[in-house]
Amino acid sequence: MKNLIYKIQYGIFRMFRGFLLMLPEKARFSAGEKVAVLGYHLIKSRRITTLANLSHAFPEKSEKEIKKIAVNSYKTMGKAFLGTIWLEEYMKNDDNFHIHGMEIVERHCSKGPVVFATMHFGNMESMLKFSEKFPFVTVAKKQRNPYLNRYISENRKHLNITLLEKSKKTSRELFEYAEEGKNIALFSDHRDKGTTVDFFGMETVSPTGAATLALRYNRPLILGYCTFNRDNTTSVHFKKIDVVNDEKNSFKENVHLTTQKLIYTMEDIITCYPEQWMWLHDRWKLYKVVTGKNNKKKKR
């Protein structure tokens, strides 16, 4: 029964994809915005999480301003996710890209492998554009629908990347690829197992993969992120992060301090472009707090 449901879901996706590709690109991006706004209104839990996160990060903003950022964030994510359907076509057009800090990447990659930290930000998948010149290894979460998962994997094969499915052995695989001299690119902004950091004035947990690899293999750490422009072009930004490698500290302490430095840099970027970040992720575990579900459990 479950397999049949997966097949139906995949069939609907293929039909939607076929219809979408008949439209001009501007109309496709517009469709992405509309679908995302619909999701904002229909999926209550994600809406609550988004508004709670924004209210925490920007307590000085009014309710109207918070809602405006929330809706625009959904629009950005809608365009980014729907845009993966014609990503190959989009990336072939160099006019779609405005690069800032490319000299940083070229300078460090010419000397050896690097570690890239990336964000769920703007047209995030467009970072794959740079695998043409700088191949890298990255990690993606396996989709529950096996047909959709296979489709995504097949559509990434033509790119100059090695795509690992997130699992218990991912850390070991990343170390193996790092030892082979491969560039590594990891999303580093969302909540995951790692170290406790300060992020927008509240403690939360952040993944330490990028910092660990940079310190363990003495590699440069470069933050890469994309912003969507109004004309649907993408501005790509690269920024060097100075790792903390103090001999007085333990390796774990240096990883923590480097991760915190990375998170503070991301916080500054998000503050400049709040509508570009994925706020619907429960980054600070605020959903149960604002809905009172924590209190209900305690009463039981």
Would you tell me how many other CB atoms lie within 10 Å of the CB of residue 141?
10
Residue 169 belongs to some domain of the structure: yes
pLDDT digits (tens, 9 = 90+) for 145-193: 888 888 887 777 778 889 898 888 999 999 999 999 999 999 999 988 8
Q: What is the DSSP letter of 141?
A: P
Residue 295 belongs to some domain of the structure: no
State yes or no: pLDDT of 285 exceeds 60.
Answer: yes
Residue 298 belongs to some domain of the structure: no
State yes or no: pLDDT of 264 exceeds 80.
Answer: yes
Residue 286 belongs to some domain of the structure: no
Residue 112 belongs to some domain of the structure: yes
Domain count, the chain: 1
pLDDT digits (tens, 9 = 90+) for 14-55: 998 999 999 999 999 999 999 999 999 999 999 999 999 999
Q: Could you tell me if 182 and 162 are in contact, meaning their C-beta atoms sit under 8 angstroms apart?
A: yes
The predicted model scores a pTM of 0.92
Q: Which of 57-66, 132-141, 223-232 has the lowest mean pLDDT?
A: 132-141
Domain that holds residue 15: 2-278
Rounded (5°) CA angle 79-139-227: 30
Residue 291 belongs to some domain of the structure: no
Residue 11 belongs to some domain of the structure: yes
Q: What is the C-alpha to C-alpha distance for residues 44 and 157, in angstroms, rounded to an integer?
A: 36
User: Interhelix angle for 2-20 vs 146-156, to 10°?
Assistant: 40
The three-state secondary structure class of 110 is coil
Give per-residue burial for 77-100: e unless 16+ CB within 10 Å, then b. bbbbebbbbebeebbeeeebbeee
Residue 175 belongs to some domain of the structure: yes
Q: What is the largest CA-CA distance in the chain?
A: 61
